[in-house]
Structure 1
């Protein structure tokens, strides 16, 4: 059972994370952080998209009145 977990560790450390090790030892700060910049841009684009969708939903005066936690009787 130990060899199974050591095999998983070897797979991740020596094979799957190898590209990240190469980025870590680069001399360029921008190059080493390219994955972080890509993820930040994707997050920013997703945030802007979500805010525009919420604004469109709000401008159309759409409100989901079918969901309520109160009976209002």
Structure 2
């Protein structure tokens, strides 16, 4: 699960770099949809929040990236 979470996080952040990178990542995901990363990222945030291991600025950045994954 750790590899899954950090892989999803990496893909999500990379997808914000440019439209072409976003499209390239989407091409390899099921249903060509970044939203498939959202549940994994939500669990990542919940886990780190529970352990109080995520600083507010990191939490904000991850939440923004999660929202971007929900967009078409």
TM-score tier after normalising by the smaller chain length: under 0.3
Give the structure-1-normalised TM-score: 0.27
In terms of fraction of residues, the more helix-rich structure is: 2
Relative contact order, higher structure (CA 8 A, sep 6+): 2
TM-score w.r.t. the length of structure 2 is 0.28
- Mark the structure with the bigger radius of gyration: 1
